[in-house]
Amino acid sequence: MMSLLLRDLKLSVRAGGGALIGVLFFMTVVAVIPFGVGPDLNLLSRIGPAIVWIGALLAALLGLDRLFQTERDDGSLDLILMQEHPLVLTVLVKCVAHWVANSLPLVVASPLLGLFMNMSEVAIGAVAVTLLVGTPALTFIGAVGAAVAVSLPRGGLLVSILVLPLAIPVLIFGVSASYAAVEDPAPFMPPFLILLAITMFFAVLGPLGAALALRNASD
Amino acid sequence: MMSLLLRDLKLSVRAGGGALIGVLFFMTVVAVIPFGVGPDLNLLSRIGPAIVWIGALLAALLGLDRLFQTERDDGSLDLILMQEHPLVLTVLVKCVAHWVANSLPLVVASPLLGLFMNMSEVAIGAVAVTLLVGTPALTFIGAVGAAVAVSLPRGGLLVSILVLPLAIPVLIFGVSASYAAVEDPAPFMPPFLILLAITMFFAVLGPLGAALALRNASD
Amino acid sequence: MSHGFYIALSYAISALIVAVMLGRIWLDGRARQRELAELEASGIRRRSSAAGKGELA
Amino acid sequence: MTQSLAITKFSDLANPTYFLNLSGRILPWLGCLTAVLFAAGLYLSFTTEGDYQQGETVRIMYVHVPAAWLSMMCYSVMALSAIGTLVWRHPLADVSHKAAAPLGAAFTLIALATGSLWGKPMWGTWWVWDARLTSVFVLFLMYLGLIALNRAMDDPSKAARVSAVLILVGFVNIPIIKFSVEWWNTLHQPASVVRLDGPTIDPEFLIPLLVMAFAFTFLFFTLHLMAMRNEIWRRRVTAQRRMAARMASREN
Amino acid sequence: MRLTAEGLAARRGEDLLFSDISFDLGAGEGLILTGRNGSGKSTLLRVIAGLLRAERGAVTWHSSGDGPIRAGEACHYLGHRNAMKAELSVEENLGFWKSFFGDFKGGTGISAAEAADRVGLGGITHLPFGYLSAGQQRRMAFAKLLVSYRPVWILDEPTAALDARAEATFADLIREHLGRGGILLAATHQPLGLEGMRELRMTGFAGVAGEFGA
Amino acid sequence: MRLTAEGLAARRGEDLLFSDISFDLGAGEGLILTGRNGSGKSTLLRVIAGLLRAERGAVTWHSSGDGPIRAGEACHYLGHRNAMKAELSVEENLGFWKSFFGDFKGGTGISAAEAADRVGLGGITHLPFGYLSAGQQRRMAFAKLLVSYRPVWILDEPTAALDARAEATFADLIREHLGRGGILLAATHQPLGLEGMRELRMTGFAGVAGEFGA
Ligand code: HEM
Ligand SMILES: Nc1ncnc2c1ncn2[C@@H]1O[C@H](COP(=O)(O)OP(=O)(O)OP(=O)(O)O)[C@@H](O)[C@H]1O
Ligand SMILES: Nc1ncnc2c1ncn2[C@@H]1O[C@H](COP(=O)(O)OP(=O)(O)OP(=O)(O)O)[C@@H](O)[C@H]1O
Ligand SMILES: [Mg+2]
Ligand SMILES: [Mg+2]
């Protein structure tokens, strides 16, 4: 399992430059919004957490749809399916590798973007923490889509549509926890704990669903 | 050439599920936004044009990086390179096919999304027009990146560094033209004309650069 | 606008959607049955042999 | 060889054949019952009093609420069928959730449209991005996605299995729709009929609402049975065409 | 180790490709599938490897003493595609599969460098897999079978794109594997240069014409 | 049509794979490349097709009367990969290449359906290419050579994954092509069943050992 993690990390560093494209896209998104909203710094800092979260969601989508497709194309998927390691675990490890290569850099870059958006220190910290806790859920949800994409002779976007709606709760609680950290009346912990719960829920459901789809897709 | 255009269109319809899917995907993205930003209709209508433009960039990025990669992987690229059709033209046709299959549906659907985002009629029209004029530039820029990605064994990194920074001016002029149409003091034409110029510039430079990269890539 | 307008419109839209749904399913069923009947008519010789054996099982 | 093939084909269809016979006998009764319930429901919904708060527009409720309930129930039926597909590999289950997807989309569309039409006079806007409305919109998108998925794959049993997985994963949306009004305070009405401590709604409205709800439910089952029969016939036609083509090529 | 297939039938799309295929292989035995293009050789191998569901029939694997075991555990599958990543070096590829596969009880695999040596390409394990020629790639994919021990080898046209010398090497490696009590299932169009193999000739859509012992 | 190569040398990475390869082929002549895996056959074919730059030397193409022409124009290249899209049906694939290639002057290609017929797979052009078996895919890739006319065929292991009957069909098609004044360049490990071909044996990194007329 460790070897699979290492291989996937190596691959994403060698082949995709995955991390960088995600971060750059993320930065582009964040760079463009101020043009839309105008130079109103107050407003910017108000919508900052939301924008950073939306950017993270979109950046996580890039490349996620090919999580299993490259494996199928060169025949590795067959061998992976045949092994006795529980398939759920294999999927989980692949998700973790993808998260480390693609989403973790976003979490690390988010404070920088927070500064661009004129967010307060507390807000910046809250966004980074909620991203750290919430983005894995996005990866797990996407994995189900990627697994379904493999079974289609022609995968692709179709999958993101099926899966993206499931990401909405993650976004809602991530954003509301970040706001709660800044605005006094609302407490930070409840939405944050719900976010944590969602991530744990999808950490189980995602790999299970993906494994189920992969088993039924093989031909 | 016509046959290449048709084939690429067919492929993207089959592979992605077609225009409808792209639009649906775009709609899902837009449906997600209010959850982040909150149901504040005023704010929504203000950031609307920026969101729609970012959606267009995302849609253009999804799949554009593989424009030539699939051709190389199954060996078609060799045959395409060998033909006497000028390579620049071939690249141009592939770009057009990609634009028609992926970006045009977004342009057509953007008014609907504008309604969802509570944008005014003028803003909706302006966004649609700027998208129509600006998205080809994104495709052409992306084509250079895709060609470089094919030629380098580890092209991934370079592509993101190359493509996204070049796309930012397009995005900025597109968004600011849309805003200029709504807000009185700023005139619409100057940014719009610059956008047009950028597109024409990249319509020449993009295919040229891509063709050059492909010629030097084959091995 | 009067409330009556919204009420009428919502009932009309619902009726339209239900009608379209019903019509599509109905017509689809008619077409399928016709196809089955055509197959039955054209392929009796071929099908009867296969079906005869099958029914024994 | 030919013989063994024919045997599998027919043992596969043995069950569906029974289903076809049975549903053929039930359908006329079901159709009549639906029509009667609709007649009664429509009569009641136009003769009862208006609400003092909402005025005449409360009549929209008699369509809106049943359609909204049905949009969720249809998904639940699909989820049950999906379990049937994955666990028992029952061919009827495949047919069931494939046939239900367009129906679910239609009921969701009705709920969305009537909700918007109710929202304009009540809230002053056609659409807001609140949790209930958006989660229903998401449900609509998921129905469309499942329809597209079924169309994109040409091996029906594989399509059934893959979409079954997706249906089950997407089921998390249903509790979100149901409880969204309680988890987030929004414009939308909280539940007043289906709740643990009994309905809080005035019986004046409750009776027509329940009659309409039953009418919609029976409409759903009628249409679902019809669509399932169509789908079985469609599969029979392709199977027999294939067999005919095979025989023809063997004779040559 | 014992591999038994009973009354196998498989479907592709809507078509039944074959039906009623049965065989039984013990330690040191091999079965060669032959037949025309599209007759279902690859399909049968995938059914046996557990990658495709059989329409009817069953495959059972018996390890001496332990009773039935899962398909994937005891076998290596080499398909038409090589299952190696073009971006990683040969060494990294082989190393990954070695630790991912693990060893089946009763044997151990050799190291990546040694395995490359055995297929005659000792010197070039540092190259990215994508740089190798077609035949070299196929040989390295074969080396994958050596880095971890599995008693059953399922090979789909192992010798495609190989030169004569590599074919002889492969034949030697297979013979050695059978000598140590392994089992071989291979689909091929060219004689593999192995003696005493049983042969199963597939005849396309109509099932199996006959099974010839050799 | 006349194809001349003079003093060709090519490099892969940092290694000179071969040097000083010269030959001259006229209408109806063929040259078979043989040699070990990795000896540079595919590389030489790609140099001749104009897909790789030669390190030294030159390839010239002469059409009767017209003087030199560009490499790509006059030849078909069939590499290790099939250059067909798995998502499109065979018919769409062949149709696309037919209209994209166009015909070289002096001949016309046959229709997609006819070409599929010629390689023995007339009935299944409606299937997506990805559904075909390995050998069927290779045959359809060969059918691509028939849908548009080119006097020179450059084939890299055309018979990989083919059954015996298809090999004979291919030999017939090649013979017919040569009979009409075509030129053949093929790399292969198995005898193609063609008589009177010249053979060029590549010896790997050290250049060429000899050229044997047959
Ligand atoms: C497009 C907009 C709307 C959508 C998508 C929508 C959706 C739904 C859904 C899914 C339910 C079923 C909830 C459950 O069973 O718990 C429901 C029930 C209901 N809706 Fe809406 N709705 C919309 C607009 C409105 C409006 C504008 C009103 C009135 C002002 C309204 C009033 C009600 C009422 C009274 C119920 C019944 C609640 C109960 O007693 O359980 N809805 N709606
Ligand atoms: N999804 C599918 N739908 C319909 N037919 C299919 C599908 N997949 C494969 N086939 C058909 O199944 C048959 C069996 O293919 P298989 O790969 O098993 O053949 P094979 O004996 O390995 O041939 P080869 O020698 O060419 O490798 C082929 O005729 C192929 O066209
Ligand atoms: N980019 C590269 N860097 C270094 N070496 C390379 C590179 N690309 C190919 N090679 C080497 O070049 C050699 C020639 O490969 P080529 O594909 O021409 O061989 P071939 O004769 O066609 O072999 P086969 O019979 O296996 O198809 C191989 O030894 C390969 O390892
Ligand atoms: Mg095969
Ligand atoms: Mg080669």
State pLDDT tens for residues F62-92. 877 666 777 778 899 999 999 999 888 899 9
Look up tokens 């998927």; give the residue.
A77
Kindly give the parts of chain D with pLDDT less than 50: 1-14, 252
pLDDT at B38: 67
Rounded Cα distance, C11 and D132, in Å? 22
Higher pLDDT, D55 or A92: A92
pLDDT tens by residue, A145-156 = 888 888 776 555
- A219 to chain F: closest CA residue: F131
- DSSP codes, F92-144: HHHHHHHHHH---TT--PPPHHHHHHHTT-GGGTTSBGGGS-HHHHHHHHHHH
SS3 category, A46: helix
Q: Which atom of ligand 2 is nearest to the CA of E189?
A: 25
Tens-place pLDDT, residues D72-117: 999 999 999 999 988 888 889 999 999 999 999 999 999 999 999 9
Nearest-Cα distance to chain A for E130, in Å, is 12
The CA distance from A11 to A13, in Å, is: 5
Q: Which of B20-34, E141-155, F40-54 has the lowest mean pLDDT?
A: B20-34
Side-chain-side CA neighbours of D194 within 13 Å: the count stands at: 9
Interfacial residues of D (vs B; Cβ cutoff 8 Å): 125, 127-130, 134, 137-138, 141, 144-145, 148, 152
* Residue D165 · residue A175 · CB < 8 Å: no
Residues 6+ apart with CB under 8 A from E156: E41, E42, E45, E77, E78, E79, E80, E186, E187
Name which of B31-45, D123-137, E98-112 the model is least confident about. Answer: B31-45
Q: Which residues of A touch E87 (CB under 8 A)?
A: 11, 14-15
* pLDDT tier for residue E117 given thresholds of 50, 70 and 90: very high
Residue E127 has pLDDT above 80, yes or no: yes
Asked if F211 and F23 count as a contact pair (C-beta separation under 8 A), the reply is yes
> Closest Cα to residue D69, out of D27, D127, D115?
D115
Read off the tokens for E26. 């013990």
Residues of F in contact with B82 (CB under 8 A): 49-51, 71-72, 75, 77
Classify D126 as helix, strand or coil: coil
Distance from CA of E172 to the nearest CA of B (A): 33
How far apart are the CA of D134 and the centre of ligand 1, in A? 12
What does the pLDDT read at residue F207? 38
CATH number at residue F80: 3.40.50.300
Chains F and E touch (3+ CB pairs under 8 A): yes
pLDDT digits (tens, 9 = 90+) for B53-72: 887 787 777 777 778 888 88
Is the distance from the beta carbon of residue E135 to the nearest atom of ligand 3 less than 6 Å?
yes
Would you state the pLDDT for residue D248? 59
Interface residue ranges in chain F relative to chain B, Cβ cutoff 8 Å: 46, 49-52, 70-73, 75, 77, 79-88, 92, 95-97, 99-101
Note the pLDDT of residue A17.
Answer: 57
Q: What's the pLDDT band for A159 if we cut at 50, 70, 90?
A: low
Domain assignments of chain D as residue spans, ordered by start: 59-240
- Among the partner-chain residues D128, D130, D148, the one whose CB lies closest to the CB of B17 is D148
Distance CA F10, CA F47 (A): 8
Q: Tally C-beta pairs within 8 A across B and E.
A: 4
Q: Is the CB of E164 under 6 A from ligand 3?
A: no
Cα dihedral A52, A55, A59, A64 sign = positive
- C-alpha E102, offset from chain centre: 17
**Residues framing ligand 1 (Cβ under 6 A):** D 61, 64-65, 68-69, 111-112, 115-116, 118-119, 122-123, 132-133, 136, 177-178, 188-189, 191-194, 201
Indicate yes or no: CB of A32 within 8 angstroms of CB of B172. Answer: yes
Cβ–Cβ contacts within 10 Å for residue B152, how many? Answer: 13
Is residue E42's pLDDT more than 90? yes
Q: Which amino acid is at F182?
A: G
Which of E18, E39, E44, E51 gets mutated to test ligand 2 (max ligand atoms within 8 A of its CB)? E39
Residue F162 C-alpha to ligand 2 middle, in angstroms? Answer: 13
Cα–Cα distance between E2 and B100 in angstroms, integer?
A: 58
Residue A173's φ and ψ, nearest 5 degrees, are -75, -35
Band (F213; pLDDT cuts 50, 70, 90): very low
Q: How far is the CA of F74 from the centre of ligand 3 (A)?
A: 25
Among residues 16-55 of chain C, which lie with CB inside 8 Å of chain D? 17-18, 20-22, 25-26, 28-29, 32-33, 35-36, 39, 43, 46-47, 50-51, 53-55
Which chain E residues are within 8 Å of A218, Cβ to Cβ?
51-52
Confidence of residue B21 (pLDDT cuts 50, 70, 90): low
Does the pLDDT at position A84 exceed 80? Answer: no
D205 burial class (0-12, 13-18, 19+ CB within 10 angstroms)? buried
Does the distance separating the beta carbons of E87 and B154 come in below 8 Å? yes
pLDDT at residue D11, rounded to an integer: 44
Which residue would you say has higher pLDDT here, A11 or A92?
A: A92
- Tell me: pLDDT of F206 over 70: no
Residue A164 — very low, low, confident or very high, per pLDDT cuts 50/70/90?
confident
Q: Within 10 A of A189 (CB to CB), how many other CB atoms are there? A: 11
Q: Report CB contact under 8 Å: F81, B10.
A: no
Cα E37 from Cα E205, distance rounded (Å):
11
Asked whether the beta carbons of residue B167 and residue A28 sit closer than 8 angstroms, the reply is: yes
Instruction: Please give the pLDDT value at position A16.
Output: 59
Which residue of chain E has the CA closest to A76? E83
How many angstroms separate the CA of residue E34 from the nearest CA in chain F?
9
D152 touching chain E per CB within 8 A? no
B154: chain E residues, CB-CB within 8 Å: 87
- Interface present between F and A (3 or more CB pairs within 8 Å): yes
Tell me the backbone φ, ψ of residue A57, rounded to 5 degrees. -60, -45
* Residue D215: predicted pLDDT: 96
pLDDT digits (tens, 9 = 90+) for B141-193: 989 888 888 876 655 556 667 777 888 888 888 888 888 887 767 788 888 89
Closest ligand 2 atom, residue E46 Cα: 18
Q: Where are the beta strands (DSSP E) in chain F?
A: 2-12, 15-25, 30-35, 56-63, 67-68, 75-78, 152-156, 183-187, 198-202, 208-212
At F86, list the tokens. Answer: 């798995």
How many CB pairs (< 8 A) connect B and D? 27
* Averaged pLDDT for residues A186-198: 85
Q: Which of residues 57-86 of B touch E (CB under 8 A)?
A: none
Closest among D119, D163, D141, D139 to D69, alpha carbons compared: D139
Residue contact B20–D138, C-beta within 8 A: no
Ligand 1 atom at shortest distance from the alpha carbon of D118: 27
E81 touches chain F (CB under 8 A): no
Place of tokens 């192992």: E158
Residue B92: what pLDDT? Answer: 94
Task: Find out whether E16 and E9 touch, Cβ atoms under 8 Å.
Answer: yes
Tell if the CB–CB gap between E83 and A75 is shorter than 8 Å.
yes
Q: How many domains does chain E have?
A: 1
pLDDT band at C31 (very low <50, low <70, confident <90, very high): very high
| Mean pLDDT for the stretch of residues A5-11 | 88
Output the residue whose Cα is nearest ligand 1's atom 3. D115
Question: Which of E87, E103, E131, E156 is the best residue to mutate to test the A interface, defined by the most A CB atoms within 10 Å of its own CB?
Answer: E87
The number of the ligand 2 atom at minimal distance from the alpha carbon of E40 is 18
Pick F61 or D125 by higher pLDDT.
F61
Question: Residues A73, A79, A83, CA angle at the centre, nearest 5°?
Answer: 150
Hey, whose CA ends up nearest to atom 4 of ligand 2? E13
- Of the partner residues E13, E16, E206, the one whose CB lies closest to the CB of residue D155: E13
Chain E interface includes A2 (CB < 8 A): yes
Residues of C in contact with D63 (CB under 8 A): 10-11, 14
Closest ligand 1 atom to residue D194 Cα is: 41
pLDDT surpasses 90 at A181: no
Query: Which domain does E194 fall in, by range?
Result: 2-213
What's the pLDDT at D13? 43
Pair of tokens at residue F116: 């599929």
Report which of residues B10 and F141 the model is more confident about.
Answer: F141
Calpha distance D4→D88 (Å, rounded) = 23
Which residues of A fall within a CB distance of 8 Å from F82?
none
Cβ E8 vs Cβ E47: under 8 Å:
yes
**Complex-level ipTM beyond the 0.85 threshold:** no
Which of the pair, D170 or A46, is modelled with greater confidence? D170
Chain F, nearest residue to B219 by Cα? F52
Please check the confidence at residue C45 and state whether its pLDDT lies above 70.
no
Average pLDDT, chain C: 75
Cβ(F140)–Cβ(F121) below 8 Å: yes
**pTM for the whole structure:** 0.84
Average pLDDT of chain F, as a whole number: 86
> Of residues F170 and D196, which shows the higher confidence score?
F170
F87-129 pLDDT per residue, tens? 888 999 999 999 998 888 878 889 999 999 999 888 788 888 9
Nearest residue by C-alpha to atom 18 in ligand 2: E40
Our answer on whether the CB atom of E126 is closer than 6 Å to any ligand 3 atom is: no
